[in-house]
Amino acid sequence: MIELISAERCTACNICVSACPTNVFEAVPGGLPRIARQDDCQTCFMCELYCPEDALYVAPIADRGATAEERDVAAQAL
């Protein structure tokens, strides 16, 4: 399930918004995209695959959230 959009890495290109087959993200004018419908995430990893900045973290757990902290994800090179 999508857990994190890195504010440090994200360039607000909105490729994740377009790549997501279940419309999980919402474009925010002048800002970073937002995870608007996390429960709709199918853990397909398309957003991670298409993100040119590696700014997204999708946890491999598909049926519940996994509370990810950006510093922990970076430290573990996830």
Residues 29-55: tens digit of each pLDDT: 999 999 999 999 999 999 999 999 999
pLDDT band at 71 (very low <50, low <70, confident <90, very high): low
**What are the tokens at 74?**
């970076």
How many domains does the chain contain in total? 1
Query: Would residue 12 be called left, alpha or beta, if left means φ above 0 and alpha means ψ between -120 and 50 degrees?
Result: left
The CATH number that applies at residue 33 is 3.30.70.20
Q: How far apart are CA 65 and CA 61, in angstroms?
A: 7
Domain that holds residue 39: 2-75
- How much is the pLDDT for 60? 80
Phi first, then psi: give them for residue 41, nearest 5 degrees.
Answer: -65, 130
3-state secondary structure of 25: strand
The answer to whether 52 touches 35, Cβ cutoff 8 Å, is no
